[in-house]
Each structure stands twice: as structure tokens, then as C-alpha cells.
Amino acid sequence: MQTRLTINSTSQTHDVAPATLLVELLRDDLGMTGTHIGCDTSQCGACNVLVDGVAMKSCTVLAIQADGKSITTIEGLASGDTLHPMQAAFREHHGLQCGFCTPGMVMAGLEIVRRRGHDLTTEDIAHDLEGNLCRCTGYVNIIKAIQAGAKAMEPSNA
């Protein structure tokens, strides 16, 4: 079945079986392995991508349901060698250990900024990360990174 979508600003058409998950299209068909599959049961958030700017779990969206939509994955955030401010903040604040959950955490961070703006409390971030699991760090540095990343994304800081 044909699905036409825009992935990281490039419009494209793919022929997919209806049962293909969006994350399977990204990883298996397109080789974009930055989006991870942690649990495959909508719990962990490692597969978060933005669909028309809104974060969703790509393990629980069919590729054909994304027809006509614009998808942003972790590969689409940096400009050349310049990291997105949210990515840079994760590096600066060491918001990762093994890194497996990180793509989903970065996308969740962008979702929090979309909904709450640039001045985030640690409580707001901790609350809104309830759909993202990290099994290494204990979240402290992830929360710091999102707080700093949100601030760095403010237009006046760009």
C-alpha cells in the first residue's frame, strides 16, 4: 500500500504492507536506526518521533496512518555538524549513560517544550517524562538536560 509522507523535511512515497509499524518503516526499510525499539508495548518511549510536530510512540502507529503527515526523527534535528540545542544539552549535562533511551528522551523533551514553553521546572519535566524509561542513569541528568535544552531553544538564545 502506498504511503506518502515527509520525513525530516524530505517528501517521499513508500510501498508498505498495512501491518508495517511506523518504527519498522523508519528502521527496517529506510535504515534510520536512530529511533529505537525498547519495549514494543507503548511503555518506554524509546521510539518517540514527532508527527506533525507532536510526539508519538512510533511502535504504536502504523506507517499508513502517517500518510500525508510530516515525521521528524532524531536524525532530523541537527543541522549538519551542529547539534540541535536539545541534543547539545544532553551532551553537556551528560543526560545519558548507555544511550539507548536517548533518542526518545530528546523527542520527549521537545514535546515538553511544545506544551509548556522554555521555562521548565524539574517537577514538570519529571511528570511529563512518565512515558519514557531509562534503565541506567536515574533521570537526574536527563531532567537537567531537558531544562537546559528548553532554555537554549528560546528564540532570544538562538
Sheet holding 54-57, edge to edge: 10-15, 2-7, 70-72, 48-51, 54-57
Q: Which of residues 100-129 bind other proteins (CB under 8 A)?
A: 108, 111-112, 115, 128
Residue 21 neighbours by CB distance under 10 Å: 22
Per rule CB under 8 A, count of chain residues that contact other proteins: 29
Residue 1 touching other proteins (CB under 8 A): yes
Residue 54 touching other proteins (CB under 8 A): yes
Residue 92 touching other proteins (CB under 8 A): no
**Which of 81, 130, 155, 157 is the binder for other proteins (CB under 8 A)?**
130
- Which positions lie near other proteins, rule CB under 8 A? 1, 17-19, 21, 40-43, 45, 48, 54-57, 60-62, 64-65, 67, 108, 111-112, 115, 128, 130-132
